Amino acid sequence: MALTLDIQELKATFDFLDDWEERYRFIIDLGKEIRPLEDSQKTEANLIRGCQSQVWLTYTQQDEQLVFLLDSDAHIVRGLIAVVLIAINGKTADDIVALDIEGLFAELDLLAHLSLTRGNGLRAMILKIKQVAATLASVS
């Protein structure tokens, strides 16, 4: 993954951009920075249910930090994935379970500017990530 923004820079950029058309372009550009999954990782087992587009999730654990890899067949969804990855990657399972990602989306006013199906897909993605983190947190 080549994302170099941290959460504070993401928020600052959202604040700087004047309208949602610019913010959508920014989100789509962020999506271009994430490394696509290999075709071998785009399996039924890695597919997240509840997303309008196809979204796949894998992860690794390095020491206590989780590194998620996600990919989608839709440009805007890849951008939303990038926003999620900026918020969660490199955190421990316990940190991810405790993270108020809905609060971040509210702060960015993101869900209000997504279709209902996109918003539900984003929530499904977060639910899956939190489920993975909760499973690993209970094992650690």
Annotated active-site residue in 10, 27, 51, 66: 51
Among candidates 10, 37, 4, which has minimal Cα distance to 23? 10
Radius of gyration over alpha carbons of the chain, in Å?
A: 14
DSSP string, 66-135: EEEEEEESSHHHHHHHHHHHHHHTT-BHHHHHH--HHHHHHHHT-GGGS-HHHHHHHHHHHHHHHHHHHH
For residue 89, indicate whether it is catalytic: no
| Residues forming the active site | 51
